[in-house]
Structure 1
Amino acid sequence: MDLAAFQSLYTTVLWAAFAVSALFGAVAHRTHFCTMGAISDIVNMGDWTRMRMWVMAIGVAMLGFHAMAALGWIDPTQTIYYSGRVIWLSALVGGALFGFGMVLASGCGSKTLVRIGGGSLKAVVVFFVMGVAAFATLRGITAVLRDSTVDRIAIEMQPGSALPSWLAPLLGWDASTAAWVIGGGLGLALMVWAALGEGFRRSPDAWLAGLGIGATVVGMWWVSGRLGFVAEHPETLEPVFLATNSGRMEALTFTAPMAYTLDWLIYFSDKNKVLTLGVVSVLGVVAGAFAHAVVSRSFRWEGFAGTRDTALHLVGALCMGVGGVTAMGCTVGQGLSGLSTLSVTSAIAFAGIVTGALGGLRFQLWLLERD
């Protein structure tokens, strides 16, 4: 591949990522897909429909990821979630902090972007605060704190932290067989469980959310790991995953990409600051949600209700920025993209997110009772 073809492919990858993330934004806006909302529905109303949306989405993502791996389209060992270190404390603490924050901020990172597209000025403020906090936790003051504390505590797990990697020797299978059987089987089981819910079965939006959101995760894995993979860079002659911040195969995630988006906007004139999958994903979700809001005539300006509402959203955004980077992902980054790879770290992070969200809901109830 010559340099001109390489640059053309780079542009194609960015447009493909934008299209996939715009679809995510439109579907999420149409169906009110939200992990925080799903947990809140269970706690407050005993309604599992939105949680079944999420479970259907992860089932689709899991099945799709391992199907592509079995076909040889992608290499599971090249994802950002594949590691010999399970940073369980970072995942647990960061996840809990993120989960608590998303309750205070009226939604997680992806929901914040969807709400921006729908006209929420509150979400715009959350985006900027969350992005700055995420950047500080990637490279700034909280990064130093993170690196010197929770990141130092980990479990070494060879040959990798994905569930099939360490179950394969116990079952006497090779890694690819274990990945397909476990990943495919578990993905199908999750989809079946989601479909068994009466409320889910009767709701077209629930089906659209579960299948559509799951498909966008699979789509982004394909864009990054298949379309965007170049076996030999025309200048360095090394394999490369185009337009990724990590240099590895990536899917949808939104905490660190918010930081990268702010960095790109602030240093726009710097030639070294280029668009990446993460940045165009952030822009794509907002664009997709905005397009649906306009078409459905549901676009509405929204502002803060008062001082306490503002304070809660600021604190929530701060917690999400710090927690999302510490946990290496948000409800989408770890809860969908990460879990689709059967990463043990992702499972721990998602458990932390749910725990933190439950704490956040209890805190909100305490505020109401005090009033």
Structure 2
Amino acid sequence: MDLVWLLDHVEEGTLAALLGLLTGAVFGVAAQRSAFCLRAATVEFSRGMLGPKVAVWLLAFSTAVIWVQGAELLGLFRSSEARMMAVAGSWSGAILGGLMFGAGMVLARGCSGRLLVLAATGNLRAVVSGLIFAVVAQMSLHGLLSPMRAWLAGQWITPGGANVDLLAALGLPRIAGIMLGVAIAALAFVLVRRNKVGFAAVAFASGVGFSVALGWVLTYSLAQVAFEPMPVTSATFSGPSADTLMFFLTENPVLDFNIGLVPGVFLGAFLSATLKGEFRFQGFEGEGQMRRSMTGAALMGFGAMLAGGCAIGAGVTGGSIFVATAWLALLCMWIGAGVTDWLVDQPSVRRAIA
């Protein structure tokens, strides 16, 4: 893609939004067709199973690592210029925010990215939960909850005003990132065979990882030729959800990659569900489920901003460039989700079996 030629015909902000739209559409189609969801994977794992949901998540994660690290080795991308690597990270935010996000996605029955995909397929529960997530994320970024988030995040931050590159910190070459990705992919394929996961799910799960790499490469390429400073980023749904909400509420909105990303995911998932005949309206099953989902969405909104990203932003996008706090946040999301499932959902499962 000749971005220099495009910049001669399209404004920088508009082009960034179009690149976000493209990245989001690829993610939306792939996530909808593969049923990619961190919450589903963590619940499976916490119940002692290494089933198809875990296999799909591992495929998406490993593919993202392989594509992104491969792009860096080829000179198509430099992780040192990524926004989440160039700013100070928060260890305390990753721990507390990760635990909160993990608990919230179990209560809401989906992480923020999964809720956006479900909303595009007609799930009204996901629409309500997604709006609450976006509002609380915005409150945590610039509103009433911002001082609390800043205080919690400031308790333990990375030194030197930048985040920690795990590969560099461990003295490992970039090829080690690809090797780790291949090892995780090998485990994923073992689980694919054991659980008889279909080829389409495998292909589209890999597409989720590819969309993360696509976002990194496109924003990096744009940043190299744009006149104004452009952030190097990729798929994430905490900041972009808040930004998209404010885009429609402010008088002079500004176009950027984030503003294109969320509509792109919605459009991709909507088209995928419609073509597959899977679009149908669904609502809350009762008052209890509504309270639970709203609580979970609020926990995810604050937790994602505190952790420096959501299950996609920190868990896959940040993990693919080996941001240390992203890996810690991802671990805490798994722990928070597993504990919440054990305390909230598993008792009823055990009673049903008994």
Normalising by the residue count of structure 1, what TM-score does the alignment of the two structures yield?
Answer: 0.86
- Out of 24, 36, 44, the residue aligned to residue 39 of structure 2 is 36
Q: C-alpha separation between the residues in 1 aligned to 2:272 and 2:322?
A: 32
Cα distance in 2 for residues equivalent to 1:94 and 1:223: 29
Please report how far the alpha carbon of residue 348 of structure 1 lies from its aligned counterpart in structure 2 after TM superposition: 0.5
Equivalent of 1:18, from 16, 21, 33? 21
- Tell me which residue corresponds to 1:335: 315
**Contact 1:36–1:103, Cα closer than 8 Å, also in 2:** yes
CA positional deviation for 1:103: 0.8
Deviates more, 1:359-368 or 1:207-216: 359-368
2:287 equivalent among 294, 298, 307: 307
Q: Which residue of 2 aligns with 1:229?
A: 223
Deviates more, 1:144-153 or 1:293-302: 144-153
1:265 corresponding residue in structure 2? 248
Match of 1:256 among 239, 242, 255: 239
Q: Residue 218 of structure 1 aligns with which residue? A: 213
Count of residues in correspondence between the two structures: 347
Q: CA deviation at 1:139?
A: 1.0
How do 1:1-371 residues align onto structure 2 when only pairs under 5 Å count? Answer: 5=8, 7-8=10-11, 10-44=13-47, 46-83=49-86, 85-156=88-159, 161-168=164-171, 178=173, 180-197=174-191, 198-199=193-194, 202-226=197-221, 228-231=222-225, 233=227, 240-241=229-230, 248-267=231-250, 270-271=251-252, 273-365=253-345, 368=348
Distance change (3 Å), C-alpha of 1:298 and 1:45: farther
**Shift in alpha-carbon separation, 1:232–1:249, aligned structure 2, 3 A:** closer
Shift of 1:167: 2.3
User: In the aligned structure 2, how far is the partner of 1:159 from the partner of 1:311?
Assistant: 39
Residue deviations 1:158-214, cap 9 Å, x none? 98501122223xx6xxxxxx2x22212111211122112223664213312331111
- Contact kept, 8 Å, 1:201 with 1:207, in 2: the verdict is no
Task: Say whether the 8 Å CA contact 1:112–1:123 is kept in structure 2.
Answer: yes
CA distance in 2, matches of 1:284, 1:26: 10
C-alpha deviation, 1:338, in angstroms: 0.4
The TM-score with structure 2 as length reference comes to 0.90
Q: CA RMSD in A?
A: 2.4
Q: Note the C-alpha offset of 1:100.
A: 0.5
Asked if structure 2 preserves the Cα contact closer than 8 Å seen for 1:159 and 1:166, the reply is no
Evaluate the alpha carbon distance shift between residue 231 and residue 292 of structure 1 in structure 2; reply closer, same or farther with a 3 A threshold: closer
Alpha-carbon distance change, 7 to 359 in structure 1, aligned in 2, over 3 angstroms: same
SS, match of residue 64 in structure 2: helix
Structure 1 unaligned spans of 5+:
172-177, 242-247
Q: Which residue identity does 2:122 align to in structure 1?
A: G
Structure 1 pair 286/306, CA: closer, same or farther in 2 (3 Å)? same
SS at match of 2:170: helix
CA distance in 1, matches of 2:202, 2:7: 42
In structure 2, the partner of 1:245 is none
Deviation at 1:15, TM superposition (A): 2.1
Distance of aligned partners of 1:167 and 1:64 in 2 relative to their CA distance in 1, 3 Å threshold: same
Which amino acid counterpart does residue 91 of structure 2 have in structure 1? W
CA, structure 1 residues 71+128, in 2 after alignment: closer, same or farther (shift >3 Å)?
same
Change (3 A) 1:315 1:202: closer
Q: Is the 8 A contact 2:7 2:15 kept in 1?
A: no
Query: What is the rounded CA distance, in whole Å, between the counterparts of 1:158 and 1:151 in structure 2?
Result: 12
Give 1:46 shift: 1.4
Deviates more, 1:150-159 or 1:127-136: 150-159
Question: 2:52 touches 2:197 (CA, 8 Å); kept in 1?
Answer: no
Report the CA distance between 1:72 and its aligned residue: 2.0
- 5+ unaligned residues in a row in structure 2: which ranges? none
Query: Partners of 2:161 and 2:170 in 1: how far apart?
Result: 11
Cα pair 2:85 2:162 within 8 Å, conserved: no
- Distance (whole Å) between structure 2 residues aligned to residue 104 and residue 290 of structure 1: 24
Match of 1:175 in 2: none
Give how far 1:45 is off: 6.5
Q: How far 1:219 moved relative to its partner?
A: 0.7
Equivalent pair of 2:117/2:266 in contact (CA under 8 Å): yes
State the identity as a percent: 26
Question: Structure 1 residue 231: deviation in Å?
Answer: 4.4
